[in-house]
Chain A
Amino acid sequence: MTRIKKGVIDKYLLTGATGFLGSHIMAGLLLKGKSVVIIGRSSAELPLKERIRKLLRWFGIEHLEGFLEFHETDFLKKNLGLGNDEYEHLCIERLPIIHCASDTSFAEKNRERVMKSNVGSLTEILNFACRSKTRCFHFISTAFAAGTGTTEYHETPVNSANFTNVYEESKAHAENIITVRCIENEVPYTIIRPSIVYGDSVNGRSLKFNALYVPVRATLVIRDIYLVDVRKNNGQKAAECGIHLDIDGALHLPMKIFIPDKGKINLIPVDYFTKTVLSIIEKPISGTFYHITSNNPANMERLAAYTQRLLNITGIEVVIGTPGSDETRNAPEELFDHLIKPYMPYISDKRIFKRENTDRVTCSAYPPDLSYEIFEKCMAFAISADWGKKLFYS
């Protein structure tokens, strides 16, 4: 492993700055006094600059906009869709690149789109990295790119061919392409692999409400539907599913959540993710893989207990195994099963991610355990932001 040339870096080039993780990296860099070159796209509703401005306001750092530079790009086009002068000008700067842009869909129906976004777009981005002789190419991947098959995963290149979904597969494929191209062209690189990222452990704020949030939100929706029935119609329909109000006012919502294995859910808060990424890119070691993962992952039982407490419900039971053929699923259970299906591999995950490289960078600073207090803060924020609908008004 070779340490990259010393010297204080005060400017980075970042992709994916409008996304959840990318925006936190952008904010982290700005707060550290760094300048950031944003390359990305406008959305149908807003130009790139406005999208970023919205985020700066959300982070409360709009006063730092002057440290940003914007370039409208298309990663699938030659020279990133930039004009020659603009492209060459960017190359000359030899900026470290943090490639965070990604399509995070798990759905097989989106395979073409995900592969195009996460793999197809690499060609031009890597061309740019090589052409600009970047000081380092940092790739934000996922811990789950390691694939499946064994239980212990080290911070090494992927050698599995089995993946849970197209997202994992695309990230693994991208890691391999980046590794090969960077080695061939002597471009320094790092691969950064976070596990599942949720909101800020200090203030609960988040820009995205998938993964951890989905089962909680689903339970909330189900609870509210039945609460209306209980209050307005004497709970006739609710009773058919064994749902009723307990004496203490809690809604008894009998739901068996079947998970295939007694595994864990590897979650990290976004503030820990950001801090760790900033540490890695400050003193990167080329060719190094970093697992930004939890050393003490939560389990489904803990999350179910948190959810019950938060929503004032009882009756949720986590069962290891699969429902028997004679097991009839009630309406809430069927809906819940359907919602968490894509996340099933992650909520009973037996994979253990070793993190020696990350420990070295962070001096063994681990992410905080997902306590009820953190969980409550995150969910309270999610509810106040109406799960993202009122994100920029809260």
Chain B
Amino acid sequence: MCKIDFLDTGLCKSGAEKHYVSFYPQGRMDLYAALAENRIPVTEKCIEIADTCDLCGICDYQCYFVTEMKPSLVMKALKEHIKLHLDSGGEILAAESDSILDGLKEIVGDYWATSDRAVALTYSHDPSPVAGPRLPEYVIMPDSTSEISAVIKALNSHKIPYAVRGNGSSVMGFVMSEGAVIDLGRMKSIEFDEKNWMVKVGPGVAAFELQKAAVKRGFRVNVAEPSALVCANIMCSGIFSLFSASYGTAADNYIDAEFVGHDGEVFRLSDKSAPNLFAYKKEDSTVPGICSSAYIRLHPVTSDEGAAFVPFDSLEGALDFARDCAMRRIGLAIGVLGGEYLSVFLSPTKKLAAEVKDIFREKLKIEYLVLVIGDKFALRSVKEMGYNYFDNRMMRILNLGLPSLSSAKWLDIIDELSAEKPYSYLGLKHFPDLAELALEPSPAKLVRDVDPELRSFFEKLYSKPEMTDPVWLNMFRVVSSRMGREKHVIPMIIYLPIDNKLISEINSEFKRIADSHGLKNDYGFITPLDDGKRCVFEYDYYLDQNDPDERMKMQQAMMEAGMMIERYSAETGTVTWIRYVFSQGFSRKESFLYSTQ
């Protein structure tokens, strides 16, 4: 998340200028750990990486928002480590002469290809429990399709294997290689073609950056996690979000794309002679090449959009409603969320999340929430369907008043307020007035437990309307990053019909498997697809990637979960594991949602 400006603080200055992940807080943390453990020597780049950190503290704001950690402590430690090393006359490892590297530098420019171990280290691992670290020989940052093409040809000629890296947010070991890592982070072009309702994006553009640019022009795009790169995301498994309920997924999200094939040749998907990436085959696939740009669909936005969080005490009830909305084409974004959404995502600290966690389940009796984002007509329809919900105003009150929730006396009469009909109090015209009075919401209140050094920043942050606007939050997905606040998330994702019994069974199985290995786990979300005929279901397993024992348990759990999915897939003929969509994200969704066999 430190590579996107999601808090409007500006980016880490050196990262934005030098682009290598090594110059971002994320890379510096990895580097310091390796230096402290004597895993790498001090190199020329080490000195540059340490020197270019001006200890501005932006990374503290960003990282604290997501994980409550303050990386500037590590940045300081890195600078001190290098200073001590230099002061004591320590050796500085210079880059060795290498004809292959020289050739790569000729293509991309001197600065944008390196074999420096300090840089290579920051590209050597991810939190995947199934892939160990791999230190690349070279890291290359091309700036154009022609440069990518030339780099591929050069690597092929030397038989050097390579991996392509977006933002490194793939967490399954796909972006590592002992040969070369091609980092596309410099290719950040965004070109709008409004009359054709599309935007051409370079492979280094992150979801947040594209959405921000689109919103500025009055559009919306369907993108995934804010730090995920758009092209890489499509390439990997296709983009799905709660907006996929209306915008679709996979091939629905783009109009055309440009690729550099494994042979280094460039092709466009719209070329008649191009490989047919719209086709799909249920198999473990490899990527068809490097997506060097994609033409993403733009969607209209109306000024009357709002959110409805409809509470449910059972998954079945939530699924029925979500399916009904999708079938009737009510709402743009639809998601069946777990009850923890309100506590974990909205709380700025773990402490507050823990305090309010049980309130939603035990006092408010909210097990699941169906989020519907739509225009005023869609929201009116939800009301007419007989459902009461937390609207934008109530969500703002709840969010900024979260710290008062555990002591709110009025919650004690919630049972009486719901006696006739569950959550009927949400239908009272003046309920938000009373809730506002009782919870006394304010940005200052929400951040009262935040680190005192950062508190005033966060108070200002939460004073911004968008930070409590459910539509904005779901478009940009900045708060959902908090799900990994305590442990790394391994999402288990499947496509299947919205069949209550089937989903309940699989949900229970996911839980049973993780519980049997003592792994933290939780329901993720379900979003209807294709008019509610299918859905995408995410169940999350959590991992401490630094704990070897937990990595082993996770491997076992993932294997068992995989076998379970395969069993349901064989029995029903309607369940598709995302494993078989990997590398086929440009295909038509119909191909993997339905079977013609």
Give A contacts to B, CB under 8 Å: 105-109, 210, 214, 217-218, 221-222, 224-226, 228-229, 232, 237, 329-332, 334-335, 338-339, 341-342, 386-387, 389
Contact = CB atoms under 8 A, between A and B. Distances in A.
Given A221-B410, A225-B438, A338-B424, A331 B430 contact: yes
B546 to A, nearest CB: 37
A342 B420 contact: yes
B409 A224 contact: yes
Contacts of B434: 222, 225, 331-332, 335
Contact of B430 (A228, A334, A341, A342): A334
B440 A228 contact: yes
Given A108-B420, A210-B416, A221-B412, 15 more contacts: A105-B419, A214-B413, A217-B413, A225-B410, A226-B437, A228-B437, A329-B430, A330-B430, A331-B430, A331-B431, A335-B417, A335-B425, A339-B413, A339-B416, A342-B419
A339 B417 contact: yes
A107 B416 CA distance: 11
A331 B432 CA distance: 9
A229 B437 contact: yes
B56 interface: no
Nearest to A213: B416
A341 B438 contact: no
Contact of B433 (A108, A232, A237): A237
Interface residues of B, number: 22
A105 to B, nearest CB: 8
Contacts of B431: 331, 334-335
Contact of B412 (A331, A338, A387): A387
B581 to A, nearest CB: 41
14 contacts: A107-B420, A107-B421, A221-B412, A225-B438, A228-B438, A228-B440, A232-B440, A329-B430, A331-B434, A334-B431, A335-B434, A338-B424, A338-B425, A339-B416
Nearest to B433: A331
Chain B interface helix/strand/loop/mixed: helix
Interface string B391-417: 000000000000000000110110011
Contacts of B417: 335, 338-339
Given A225-B438, A228-B437, A334-B430, A109 B412 contact: no
A13 to B, nearest CB: 32
Nearest to B438: A225
Interface in B412-454: 412-413, 416-417, 419-422, 424-425, 428-431, 433-434, 436-438, 440
A338 B437 contact: no
A355 B64 CA distance: 70
Contacts of B424: 338
Nearest to B415: A210
B419 A107 contact: yes
A231 B429 CA distance: 25
A190 B440 CA distance: 55
Contacts of A214: 413, 416
A254 B370 CA distance: 37
A44 to B, nearest CB: 13
A330 B431 CA distance: 10
Nearest to A110: B419
Contacts of A229: 437
Given A106-B419, A107-B419, A342-B420, A389 B430 contact: no
A389 B412 contact: yes
A386 B438 CA distance: 18
Given A229-B437, A342-B419, A335 B428 contact: yes
Q: Which of B410, B413, B429 has the most chain A CB atoms inside 10 A of its CB?
A: B413
A345 B425 CA distance: 20
Contact of A221 (B413, B419, B440): B413
A371 B209 CA distance: 69
B240 to A, nearest CB: 35
Nearest to A165: B420
A124 B252 CA distance: 60
B374 to A, nearest CB: 27
A109 B420 contact: yes
Contact of B413 (A108, A218, A334): A218
A221 B415 CA distance: 14
A339 B417 CA distance: 6
Contacts of B416: 210, 214, 217-218, 339
A229 B438 CA distance: 9
Nearest to A331: B430
A151 B437 CA distance: 43
Contacts of B429: 334
B233 to A, nearest CB: 43
A387 B415 CA distance: 12
B430 A221 contact: no
Given A237-B437, A331-B434, A338 B428 contact: yes
A387 B413 CA distance: 10
B494 to A, nearest CB: 32
Contacts of A108: 420
A217 B415 CA distance: 12
Nearest to B436: A237
In the complex, the 10 A-B pairs of residues with the closest C-beta atoms, listed nearest first:
A331-B430, A331-B433, A334-B430, A225-B437, A225-B438, A221-B410, A342-B419, A331-B434, A334-B428, A229-B437
